[in-house]
Amino acid sequence: MAHPDNSAPAPHRRTEVSNLSFALIISIPVLVFLLIVVAYPLAYAFYLSFNEIRFFGGYSADWVGLTNYANVLYDPSFWSSLGRTLRFTVETVILTLAIGLGLALILKHLPPGWRWLRALIILPWAVSPYGAGIFFAYLGRGQTGIGTSVAAALGSDQTFNLISANFVMEYLALGAAWNMAPLVAFFLLANMLTTPPRLYDLAKIDQMSHFETFWHVTLPPLRFTIFVFSCITTVLAMKTFDYIFTETQGGPGSASAVLTYTLYKISFVNLDLGYGAAMSFFLLAVILGSTGILYFIWGRKEERQ
Amino acid sequence: MARIELRNIVRTFGGQHAVQNLDMTIEDGELLVLLGPSGCGKSTTMNMIAGLDSPTSGQILFDGVDVTQRSPHERNIAMVFQSSLLYPHLSARDNIYMSLKRSGLSKQQIEARIAHAAETVDVTRLLDKRPSQLSGGERQRVATAKAIVREPAGFLLDEPLSALDAALRLSLRAELVNLQKRIRTTMIFVTHDQIEAMTMGDRIGVMRQGRLEQIGTPTDIYNRPETLFVAGFVGTPPMNFLKGSLEQTDGKLWLVNPSIRMEIKGEFASAKPMKNVVLGIRPHLMRLSEAGSSALPLTVYAIEQLGNEAIVICDGPAGEKIRVVTQAGFTAPIGARLDANFDSAAARLYDPATERVVATDGAN
């Protein structure tokens, strides 16, 4: 746009900090902090992964090159642990989002006198994964668990152990979803409340079925949130350790030894730090890879909307 | 297209009357505007006509057939909502298509109908855009196309223009009226904007507190308001009101208050004397003169210059605000004394107790 009077001198500016410099100035403490707590351990782990570390007969670190990485690929317990991690992750993500969406729908349609439940429902999320693990361990056990008491209520005198080799991963996923779903529900509810109520009237006039109304009116504003929580839950599920440690200790046998648990055993029980460090980089790659895939096949589509 | 009848409609929400004993007929091909302040029951009335809400009691008839229990789709109603709601993730074409999805028409018929509707409101080039890519006016046109594509028995609009800026509202107002006359559909338009109502409606139904105050042509509503509320609500600037009593002397009827004594002529000359009465007179029907004559004494409070005319806002003798429309460029110092004259035959008399027009021996 041309100004008719551009002969006027530009107003004198005092020296101001540019946006970029200002951003740098206020974020330097954080960057330094991150460097110490993230970059240093990461770099140290990277160094360890190329060495064989021994503690017996005095500490020693021998350079072994890529041997640790190669060994991981030939280790059957790595592949079985990875399989459990993926199974746990897929199940947790699906259960978390399904339960979260279900809860949000229930919370949205609460009658006016029951709206306080919306605040209360967040409570499970306030339980730490460590606590949730202990809680679900008691709940799942054969002697004290909910399986047995439900069976007793139905007139059976059998015990049902929910923490059994065949479906311990599903039971773990259910507990993880219980922990996380309220937060998802909270965000989805907030999204749902932005939909103008009259849009439901429009759907009625168009004679949409319940499913079509859900698909065309309720769901569209939720899709981006669902994508974001799929990513968050994927990352959280893949790196879950404390919850599984307190609930099943990788058992029964090694039926719930996910990659993080196997890593813990190699590094801190067997003290094979170099090998553990190498395997942990495979976990990092899996986490980055899966969120990357989620973004490329799903996230980009949601962004364009 | 249909003749829509409402018979003694009552709608209560938790003991509160949203709509009370509403009787109304909308003729086939008519554009009826429901006008009233927010909370007057006009949107509730529209929801019941659409079938989105059911009356607590009463009947709704389309072409003589009772549709009270039928769904919106069975009534073949189309509706445009406030801010022209559309499904945000669907293209304009798919939004319009949703109106016909359950119609049972063949694919070719649907496509032809969409093309025709889009052409009627000139949105053909917008069909592949999403609502978020459209301007307010374009969204309004797409919402209209979505409504007319169904060839509805009744076309309901719930304040569709209220979120738009003034210039756009003006042009879309004319567009909608033009469209309604072209496709000759029965249209009901809800608004709280009296100018919109006056300019668009074949007839206007003015509602307040769940009741229909008056229904009639814009001219009728403007010139012969039946109630104090209608008199005050319709017209810009609003009607002036003077309080007083009606007294009969020498076979003539007089409006009397501490500052004036004026003979009532015209249709209200045959009214009976009464202690409290309110006289209503339009600002356009008053004339200003120098102080000293026998008319209504006023004190200038403010002057609004509109270019083609000026509105002089004055304090009346009883502290009420009196507005007088006069020629453009009229000036007077604030606080100046003026007099206003008017022909009492052009005034309306209302009973403040019933808030209705005073009974006469004539038509009323």
ipTM of the predicted structure?
Answer: 0.81
The C-alpha angle B238, B243, B247, rounded to 5 degrees, equals 135
Burial class (CB in 10 A: 0-12, 13-18, 19+), B334: exposed
Mutate to test the interface with B, among A192, A194, A205 (most CBs of B within 10 A): A205
Q: Is the pLDDT of residue A7 over 80?
A: no
Alpha helices in chain B (DSSP H): 42-50, 72-75, 92-98, 107-120, 136-148, 166-183, 194-200, 218-223, 228-233
> What residues in A contact B86, CB-CB < 8 Å?
202
The whole-number pLDDT of residue A103 equals 92
Q: Which residue's structure tokens are 């072994």? A: A64
> What residues in B contact A208, CB-CB < 8 Å?
98, 101
A contact set with B (CB within 8 A): 196, 198-199, 201-202, 204-208, 216-217, 220-221, 305
Which of A108-117, A289-298, B47-56, B188-197 has the least mean pLDDT?
A108-117
Work out whether strand B186-191 and strand B31-35 pair parallel, antiparallel, or are unpaired.
parallel
A29-33, A88-92, B164-168, B326-330, range with greatest mean pLDDT: A88-92
Task: Confirm if B236 and B283 have CB atoms less than 8 A apart.
Answer: no
Measured distance CA(A89)–CA(A260) in Å, rounded: 12
Q: B237-357 architecture in CATH?
A: Beta Barrel (2.40)
Task: Confirm if B301 and B334 have CB atoms less than 8 A apart.
Answer: yes
Measured distance CA(B324)–CA(B299) in Å, rounded: 12
CA proximity to B355, closest of B209, B189, B248, B219: B209
- The 3-state DSSP composition of chain A as helix, strand, coil percent (nearest 5) reads 70, 5, 30
The C-alpha angle B309, B312, B313, rounded to 5 degrees, equals 140
pLDDT tens across A139-165, in order?
888 777 787 788 888 877 777 777 777
User: Residues of B178-207 as b/e, b for ≥16 C-beta within 10 angstroms?
Assistant: ebbeebebbbbbbbbbbebbbebbbbbbbb
Shortest Cα–Cα distance, A205 to chain B (Å): 5
Which parts of chain B sit beneath pLDDT 70?
1, 290-294, 361-364
The answer to whether the Cβ–Cβ distance between B88 and A221 falls below 8 Å is: yes
Domains of chain A are: 34-74 (no CATH), 87-126+167-273+290-304 (1.10.3720.10)
Give domain limits for chain B.
Answer: 4-232, 237-357
B4-232 shares its CATH topology with B237-357: no
Measured distance CA(B294)–CA(B339) in Å, rounded: 8
* The residue type at B31: L
The answer to whether the Cβ–Cβ distance between B98 and A216 falls below 8 Å is: yes
Helix or strand or coil: residue B218? helix
Measured distance CA(A173)–CA(A178) in Å, rounded: 9
Q: What is the DSSP letter of A158?
A: -
The answer to whether the Cβ–Cβ distance between A206 and B90 falls below 8 Å is: no
pLDDT grade for A1, boundaries at 50, 70 and 90: very low
Q: Is the pLDDT of residue A13 over 70?
A: no
- Mean local confidence (pLDDT), A278-284: 89
The answer to whether the Cβ–Cβ distance between B72 and A207 falls below 8 Å is: yes
The whole-number pLDDT of residue A83 equals 92
Measured distance CA(B288)–CA(B286) in Å, rounded: 7
Name the residue facing A207 among B78, B90, B102 (closest C-beta): B102
Q: Is the pLDDT of residue A2 over 60?
A: no
The Cβ of residue A150 has, within 10 Å, a number of other Cβ atoms equal to 11
Q: Which residue's structure tokens are 């030894």? A: A257
The whole-number pLDDT of residue A305 equals 59
pLDDT grade for A11, boundaries at 50, 70 and 90: low
Class of domain B4-232: alpha beta
Helix or strand or coil: residue A265? helix
Task: Confirm if A242 and A129 have CB atoms less than 8 A apart.
Answer: yes
CA proximity to B4, closest of B52, B61, B45: B61
Measured distance CA(B103)–CA(B96) in Å, rounded: 12
The whole-number pLDDT of residue B188 equals 93
Neighbouring-strand partners of residue B302:
B313
- Mean local confidence (pLDDT), A33-62: 84
> What residues in A contact B83, CB-CB < 8 Å?
196
The answer to whether the Cβ–Cβ distance between A207 and B73 falls below 8 Å is: yes
Give the residue from chain A lying closest to B94, CA to CA. Answer: A216
The answer to whether the Cβ–Cβ distance between A198 and B88 falls below 8 Å is: no
- How far is C-alpha B116 from the geometric centre of its chain's CA atoms? 31
Measured distance CA(B80)–CA(B139) in Å, rounded: 11
pLDDT tens across A191-247, in order?
999 888 889 999 988 888 899 999 999 998 899 999 999 999 999 999 999 999 988
Helices (H) and strands (E) in chain B, counts: 9, 21
pLDDT grade for A113, boundaries at 50, 70 and 90: confident
The whole-number pLDDT of residue A52 equals 82
B116 interfacial to chain A (CB closer than 8 Å)? no
Residues with Cβ < 8 Å from B362, sequence gap 6 or more? B267, B270
